[in-house]
């Protein structure tokens, strides 16, 4: 499928999201409810995941915000 303009998206599950962000499950879901973190996508009847690109963007935004307030 390469060359057809398709991009590869990686879906990561909650343990990976927690590891990458350093946030607890409760904090993640609180931020989601407040609209401050990416909403998970359904990947099955009882399973959700997040696009790794959404997590990368959130981390990058946090780094930028942190650096702009500390300058």
- Per-residue pLDDT 10s for the chain (71 aa) are 455 666 789 999 999 999 999 999 999 999 999 999 999 999 999 999 999 999 999 999 999 999 887 65
Q: Can you list the alpha helix ranges (DSSP code H) found in the chain? A: 14-21, 25-33, 52-69
Cβ-contact 40, 48 below 8 angstroms? yes
Distance in Å from the first CA to the final CA of the chain: 45
pTM: 0.82
């Amino acid at each position: 499928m390469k060359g057809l303009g398709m991009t590869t998206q990686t879906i990561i599950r909650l343990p990976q999201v927690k590891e990458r962000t350093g946030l607890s499950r409760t904090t993640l879901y609180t931020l989601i409810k407040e609209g401050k973190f990416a909403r998970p996508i359904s990947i099955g009847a009882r399973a959700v995941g997040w696009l790794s690109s959404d997590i990368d963007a959130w981390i990058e935004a946090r780094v930028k915000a942190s650096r702009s307030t500390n300058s």
